[in-house]
Structures are given as C-alpha cells and as structure tokens.
A and B are shown apart, each in its own frame.
Chain A
Amino acid sequence: MDAQLKRGLLDVCVLAAIKDEESYGYKIIKDVRPYIEMSESTLYTILKRLELANMLTVRTSEHDGRLRKYYRITKAGLGRIEDFKDEWREITSIYGFVMKGGSKQ
C-alpha cells in the first residue's frame, strides 16, 4: 500500500484495536495484522503520537512477574474514529470517481 496512505490509516487502526477494551502492544499488532501489516517500530511511534494527542492513556501493570503497558482509548480517541467514519464517505465517493474516470475516454 502507498506509504502515505498507510500512515494515515494506521493511527485509526490502533485506536480501533483499543476501542472496546484496553489492550497491550503485541495484542494490538495481532488484532490489526489480518487487515494491515505493522512493525514494532511503527507501533511504538504511533502509540507515542496518540499519547501526545491525548487519544489514549497508558498504565503499567504487573503480568506474570513482569511489567506490561496497557493502552486505553480516550474520548478524543473515540472522536478520531468518528471523524474517520465521516471521512470514509468522502473516500468512497473519490474512489468511485477514480474508477469511473478511465471509461470516459
């Protein structure tokens, strides 16, 4: 997929992965993997960026004798998902235009 396009989508994907309940790093990657490939480095950057934008919160908790970070979505994060849903209508109409455009010639 085009790198620029992917970058915009990954943020929302990560938010969607933590939409219903809090999650942790590896689980997010696993949940998103059937739809889009994401490396650890990419996830790290996205999580940092979303945290800075107050779209998620982080807490550290003990699990099996080691520490694990859990990410939970915020209201702003949910708002971003809603925005994406609105954008999607625009995107589908643009997609229709692109697909149609060729036949006009």
Chain B
Amino acid sequence: MTKREFLKALKKKLSHLPRQEANERLTFYGEMIDDRIEDGLSENDTVAQIGSADEIAAQILSEEGAKAKPKSQRNGVMIALLVLGAPIWFSLLVAAFSVVISLYVTLWALVAVVWATFAALCASAVGCVVVGLVIAVSGRVAAGIALFGAALLCAGLAIFLFYGCKAATRGVLALTKKLTQKLFKGGKAA
C-alpha cells in the first residue's frame, strides 16, 4: 500500500472524529511515514510497519470510546423509549395498581362484614332480652323465656364471632405490614 492510499483509508475511518483532531492525526502519521522512508525503508514496508488503517482506527476508537460518548447515547435512547412507551406502560401500571388497591379494600370490607355481624348479634341479644322482659312481665312468661333463650343464643354466637373478628382484623393488619415491608425493603435494596 502506498502512503497516499494508507492516509486515504485512515481518513475515512476517522471521519467520525472532529475535523481538527482527524487532521492532526493524519498529519502525525504522514510525518511518521516520511521519517521512516527517509531512514531508508521502502514506502510499502513503512506502511506495513505502522499497521493497517483498520488497526489504527480500532486503537483510536477504543481510546475515544472509553470517554463519555457511548454512555450519553445509551441514556438518550433509554429516555426516548420510556417517553414513547408511556401510554402503554403507564396505563398498565395504573391498572395493576388499581387491582391491588381493590383487592386490599375487599379484604377490609370482609373484616367489616364480620364485625357488622357481630354487632348485629349483640344488638339482637340485647333486643331479645328487653322484649323478653317486657313480654314476661306482661304475662306471657313462656314466650319471654323463649326470647331469653334466643338472647342467650345470640350472645353465644356473638362471643364466638368476636374471636373471629379479632383474628380477621389481626390477619389483615399483619398482611398489610408484610406487604409494605416488602415494598419498602425492595425499594431500599434497589
């Protein structure tokens, strides 16, 4: 390869560099070649000694590439993708979030139902006692006693349900704690 061919090939490989820098390097190599020729080497041998234009371009690229350029390019692409895809991933995120929230609310609703049942049983028990008393006093003792019985039944069920209420509430609270811990721990670790 002649000097001119080599320099032309190198120039093409360095076309991505800023013009001044590319020219500086070309001058440098041109000078190197001339010096070697002056020393007595043939033009072809000299160019061979210096290495192919590809090799040199690769060396330069590996030096330049270590600097800021690729990283900023990569970040730019990532940001562009995020913005463009926003309608998709954002809506999916909102949907997923809504599902989670509704499930959570449902759990609490169930707990509320258990408590409500408990309250209803309590009220029934009290109600039965009161009405039973009234009826017994007014003369229908048997009916009154029956109502007392009903009251006892309600009370019994209420007591039974009370433990259920406590357990259900504690269960949902524990679940909530575990989930929030996982969320925040995961956030911290990331």
Binding site for B on A (CB under 8 A): 24-27, 39-42, 44-45, 64, 66-69
* Interchain residue pairs A-B with the least CB separation, the first 10: A26-B35, A41-B59, A40-B32, A44-B28, A26-B32, A41-B56, A25-B32, A40-B50, A66-B34, A68-B31
Q: Is B85 located at the chain interface by the 8 A CB criterion?
A: no
A-B contact pairs, 14 of them (CB 8 A): A24-B35, A25-B28, A25-B32, A26-B35, A39-B59, A40-B28, A40-B29, A40-B32, A41-B63, A44-B28, A45-B63, A66-B31, A68-B35, A69-B28
> Which B residues are in CB contact (< 8 Å) with A39?
51, 59
> Which B residues are in CB contact (< 8 Å) with A66?
31, 34
B60 touches A69 (CB 8 A): no
Binding site for A on B (CB under 8 A): 25, 27-29, 31-32, 34-36, 38-39, 50-51, 56, 59-60, 63
B35 touches A25 (CB 8 A): yes
Can you name 11 extra interface pairs (CB under 8 A) apart from A42-B59, A44-B28, A67-B27? A25-B28, A26-B31, A26-B35, A39-B59, A40-B28, A40-B51, A41-B63, A66-B31, A66-B34, A68-B31, A69-B31
> Which B residues are in CB contact (< 8 Å) with A24?
31, 35
Min distance, Cβ A77 to any Cβ of chain B, angstroms: 20
> Which B residues are in CB contact (< 8 Å) with A68?
31, 35
Closest to B38 in A: A64
B39 touches A26 (CB 8 A): yes
Closest to A42 in B: B59
Instruction: Report the bound CA distance from A40 to B32 in whole Å.
Output: 8
> Which A residues are in CB contact (< 8 Å) with B51?
39-40
Min distance, Cβ B29 to any Cβ of chain A, angstroms: 6
B59 touches A26 (CB 8 A): no
A41 touches B60 (CB 8 A): yes
Min distance, Cβ A69 to any Cβ of chain B, angstroms: 7
Instruction: Report the bound CA distance from A44 to B59 in whole Å.
Output: 11
Closest to A27 in B: B35
> Which A residues are in CB contact (< 8 Å) with B29?
40
A26 touches B36 (CB 8 A): yes
Instruction: Report the bound CA distance from A45 to B35 in whole Å.
Output: 19
> Which A residues are in CB contact (< 8 Å) with B34?
66
Residue among A26, A45, A64 with the highest chain B CB neighbour number at 10 A: A26
> Which B residues are in CB contact (< 8 Å) with A45?
63
Instruction: Report the bound CA distance from A67 to B31 in whole Å.
Output: 8
